[in-house]
A = this chain, B = another copy of it.
Amino acid sequence: MADILKKRLEKCSRLMKAGELDVLLLAKPANMFYLTGDGRLCAFAMITKDGEVALGVPRTDVDDVKLYAKSGSITGFEDEVGMIHSIAHYFEHFGIKESVVGLEYTFLTQSMMGMLTHPHAKPEGVKVKDCTHIMSELRRVKDEEEIKRIRAAAKVADAGMKAAVESVKPGITESQVAAEAEYAMRQAGAEEFWRSYVSSGERTNIAHGLPSHRKLNSGDPVMIDIHPIVNGYSADMCRTVCAGKPSKEMQAAYDFYLNAQQAAIAKIKPGISVGELEEDMHSMLRGAGHEEHIFGPPIHGVGIEFEEAPLPPGHAFFHGEKEAPPLEANTVIAVGNCGLYTGNFGVRVEDTVVVTETGNEILTGYRRELEI
């Protein structure tokens, strides 16, 4: 792990120099985890362009952080004032007075930004710039260990989906279906998971169908979207099933969407861009009159976060990301996120896919069938 972190820091140095950044001040756990080995809430990491690392964490956590962060100095702080002072301390420690610090504009709230750039934290001569694109570029292509962890997360997603789908029957609530998925994912090896989505009936027509108390009726579509975390890495998987016999209309919409999703996956190989894949999937849906029945990017990256860069260009722009280069081997993406929302119901099938040297491999394997 120490070797991997060293390599990442070296690449980070090169990107920082190219991007004219002297130091990064990170607070997003996913980014801190990637570059230091430890990412936690209420903490920060400072990374210089020479690859030096410093961490500030709650003082209660110092010993625990040492188990994960393999290099650099670690300071514990007692509260927000202490955090600000420890940032100032590291700026001084690294001799940084007139320079440019990179901050995570896609993560920091206005108030967090205020803390990190507080006059008692940041020297006046230090300018502030977004570093989102550097972290996304670093995390874009996965190494062997990362692929292994995402593969493990995909297996856990399969186990969670199986448990959820097997629980689907009239009378059970959406929240209870989510309970089955989450319980099974933790038993199968997830240390955590991102928020689960379960919607049913007409609620499958909404873009972010968080579970409610709605009870399934016979013949309802049920949309289940889960994202386990295994050793710090995620997978993203969605299935739509029917609590009974699907109507012809529902089966036709499902078959059509699944075909479009699988056709998009079939095109994945090094050299194609997420923008092209988006256009490909959209044009299939548009061609069948579904232009107004989709929402959200059909494709996005998967890694430490279940939804991360690369994003298709339009979404990337508005989410503060730069347009990603064409896919390379060992990039991991999820395909099928846009859904097909007919107005009466929605269907969605989403899988986590790794780009290989010659094509791709689908990591999430649970059956793709509407009828159970």
A40's partner among B109, B110, B208, B317 (CB-CB below 8 A) is B208
Does A211 lie at the interface of the complex (its beta carbon under 8 Å from any beta carbon of B)?
yes
Number of copies: 2
CB distance from A40 to the nearest CB of B (A): 6
User: Which of the 9-residue segments A48-56, A78-86, A235-243 touches chain B?
Assistant: A78-86
Q: Once the chains bind, are A78 and B295 in contact (CB under 8 Å)?
A: yes
Residues of B within 8 A of A58 (CB): 206-208, 295-296
**Contact (A211, B192) CB under 8 Å given A80-B314, A205-B60, A206-B61:** yes
Whether, in the assembled complex, A105 has its beta carbon less than 8 Å from a beta carbon of chain B, the answer is yes
Complex partner residue of A115 from B183, B191, B318, CB under 8 angstroms: B318
The answer, among B103, B115, B346, for a CB contact under 8 Å with A60, is B346
B contact residues around A61 at 8 Å (CB): 205-207
Given known A60-B295, A107-B109, contact A186–B179 (CB-CB < 8 A): yes
The count of residues in chain A whose C-beta lies closer than 8 Å to any C-beta of chain B is 64
Q: Verify if A272 is at the interface (C-beta below 8 Å from B).
A: no
B179 touches A315 (CB 8 A): no
Query: Is A110 a contact partner of B320 (Cβ separation < 8 A)?
Result: yes
A98 at the interface (CB under 8 A from B): no
A175 at the B interface (CB under 8 A): yes
Chain A 306-350 residues near chain B, CB threshold 8 A? 314-315, 317-320, 339, 341, 343, 346
A59 lies within 8 A of B179 (CB): no
**Across the interface, do B106 and A109 meet the contact criterion of CB distance under 8 Å?**
yes
Distance between Cα atoms of A212 and B195 in the complex (Å): 17
Q: Please name all residues of chain B whose beta carbon is closer than 8 Å to the beta carbon of A213 when the two chains form the complex.
A: 189, 191
Q: How far is A38 from B130 in the complex, measured between Cα atoms in Å? A: 33
Inside 8 A of A64's CB, which chain B residues have their CB?
Answer: 202-203, 205-206
Over the window 60-100 of chain A, the binary record of Cβ atoms lying under 8 Å from chain B Cβ atoms (1 yes, 0 no) is 11011000000000000011110000000000000000000
When distances are taken between beta carbons in the complex, the residues of chain B under 8 Å from A296 are: 42, 58
Decide: A179 near B175, CB < 8 A? Known: A63-B205, A208-B40, A341-B60: no
Q: Which chain B residues lie closer than 8 Å to A247 at the CB level?
A: none
Q: What would 29 A/B residue contacts be, using CB atoms closer than 8 Å? A: A41-B207, A41-B208, A59-B292, A59-B295, A60-B207, A61-B205, A61-B206, A61-B207, A63-B202, A64-B202, A64-B205, A78-B295, A81-B318, A105-B110, A106-B109, A106-B110, A108-B109, A108-B110, A109-B320, A111-B318, A111-B320, A174-B191, A178-B186, A179-B183, A179-B187, A182-B186, A191-B211, A192-B195, A192-B210
- 5 additional contacts (CB under 8 A) given A80-B319, A110-B130, A179-B187: A61-B206, A103-B110, A106-B109, A110-B113, A111-B318
Pick the 5 closest A-B CB pairs, nearest first: A111-B320, A105-B110, A179-B186, A80-B318, A58-B207
